[in-house]
């Protein structure tokens, strides 16, 4: 039985727009899930419904086989955490450690336990050195990491993230994704990441759900989801650039690819194997 189950979830805005139109998902523990959607695809609404900020009806959400509506707020906070897209929504305290300690304190922990959780959470996102800084002295990337620490300090079993890499420069983006990967692999946190960054997602996620107009149109491993350009264009997304290039080489230049590579590494090893030996001049192949 999966840890998080969403069944036939519907959410209709006051003006009649169906933001969620019969969503079904099931997510196992320790999975790294990518929730791909174009803007307005309903991903923020879905995330907020899962954490109980909206009452979505009809439909049901089960966490560890317990319906969301039966969970107490505090138990829900222990089970699931949501990292908002805009750090300003989440970081309200005047210093880093004050903000991160907010959640654990509300769980009624002792000062020692709170301190321990703050330290571990900040350590996990590489922000321990900045713990006494005021929020407004941090860079945008650092603020995002503190947001994650603030939620991690609650020790949720599932971490939902809304566009964690939006607005970050390439280096901070890679850094953040690396931290998330580590959290998933080493600390065993289930991660659901909503994003439209198709290029990086295949590197990290186990499964992808694609949302369009409040419905899940495709789901599966990155390989199945990114199997063709048409499918992705239908949901207003695109293939990763490298996959797109290989797809063109396959269809227009008839290069023999059996499977479309999703990452640079896969594409490179495949291309190198196809090239005549005399133009391939070096570089280790991993």
Partner 1 sequence: MPRHNVEIFSDYFAQRSNVLTVIDARVKLFFILAVLVLVLVSKDLPILISVMFASLGALVMIGIPPKMVLARLAAPLFMAGMILLLQGLFFGETPLYTLEAMGFSVPLYREGIEKGILIAGRVLAGTSSIIFLSMTTPLHKILSALKFLRVSDEWLAVLAFAYRYIFVFIEEAQSIMDSQRLRLGYQGLLTGLRSWGTLVGSLFARVFDQAHATHDAMVLRGYNGAIYIERPQALRRSDLSAGVLFTSLFLVLLALDFYWR
Tell which one of 2, 24, 26, 86 touches partner 1 (CB under 8 A). Answer: 86
Q: Scan residues 41-60 and list those touching partner 1 (CB under 8 A).
A: 48, 51, 53
- Find where tokens 């300003």 sit: 88
User: Residue 23 or residue 118: which is nearer to partner 1 going by CB?
Assistant: 118
Contact (Cβ atoms closer than 8 angstroms) between residue 174 and residue 208: no
Tell which one of 25, 35, 77, 237 touches partner 1 (CB under 8 A). Answer: 77
User: Residue 48 or residue 144: which is nearer to partner 1 going by CB?
Assistant: 48
β-strands 190-195, 158-162 pairing: parallel
φ/ψ of 282, rounded to 5, equals: 155, -160
Q: What is the Cα 232 distance to its own chain's centre?
A: 19
- Tell me if 103 contacts partner 1 by CB under 8 A: yes
Q: Scan residues 150-169 and list those touching partner 1 (CB under 8 A).
A: 150-151, 154
CB of 286 to partner 1, least distance (A): 40
Q: Scan residues 116-135 and list those touching partner 1 (CB under 8 A).
A: 133-135
User: Residue 24 or residue 95: which is nearer to partner 1 going by CB?
Assistant: 95
Using alpha carbons, select from 141, 98, 150, 81 the residue that is nearest to residue 122.
150
Contact (Cβ atoms closer than 8 angstroms) between residue 212 and residue 38: yes
DSSP letter for 13, please: -
User: Residue 139 or residue 228: which is nearer to partner 1 going by CB?
Assistant: 139
CA distance 231 to 210: 10
- What residue spans of 107-139 are helical by DSSP H? 111-124
CA distance 241 to 238: 8
User: Residue 43 or residue 207: which is nearer to partner 1 going by CB?
Assistant: 43
Tell which one of 66, 69, 106, 110 touches partner 1 (CB under 8 A). Answer: 106
In the complex, the residues that contact partner 1 under the rule CB under 8 A are 48, 51, 53, 73-74, 77, 81-82, 84, 86, 88-95, 98, 101-103, 105-107, 133-137, 150-151, 154
């Amino acid at each position: 039985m999966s840890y998080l189950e969403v069944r036939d979830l519907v959410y209709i805005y006051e003006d009649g727009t169906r933001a969620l139109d019969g969503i079904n998902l099931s997510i196992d523990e320790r999975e790294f899930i990518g929730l791909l959607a174009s803007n307005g695809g309903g991903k923020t609404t879905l995330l907020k419904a899962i954490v109980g900020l909206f009452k979505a009806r009809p439909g049901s959400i089960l966490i560890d086989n317990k319906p969301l509506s039966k969970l107490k707020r505090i138990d829900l906070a222990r089970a699931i955490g949501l990292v908002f897209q805009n750090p300003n929504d989440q970081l309200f305290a005047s210093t880093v450690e004050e903000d991160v300690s907010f959640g654990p304190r509300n769980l009624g922990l002792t000062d020692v336990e709170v301190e321990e959780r703050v330290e571990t959470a900040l350590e996990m996102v590489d922000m321990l050195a900045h713990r006494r800084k005021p929020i407004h002295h941090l860079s945008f990337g650092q603020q995002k990491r503190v947001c994650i620490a603030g939620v991690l300090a609650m020790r949720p079993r599932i971490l939902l993230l809304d566009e964690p890499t939006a607005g970050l420069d390439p280096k901070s983006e890679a850094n953040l994704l690396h931290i998330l990967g580590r959290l998933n692999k080493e600390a065993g946190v289930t991660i659901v990441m909503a994003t439209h960054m198709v290029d990086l997602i295949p590197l990290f996620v186990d499964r992808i759900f694609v949302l369009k107009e409040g419905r899940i149109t495709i789901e599966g491993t990155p390989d199945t989801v990114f199997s063709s350009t048409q499918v992705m264009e239908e949901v207003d997304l695109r293939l990763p650039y490298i996959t797109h290039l290989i797809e063109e080489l396959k269809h227009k230049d008839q290069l023999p690819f059996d499977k479309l590579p999703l990452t640079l590494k896969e594409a490179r090893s495949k291309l190198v194997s196809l090239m005549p030996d005399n133009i391939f001049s070096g570089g280790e192949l991993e």
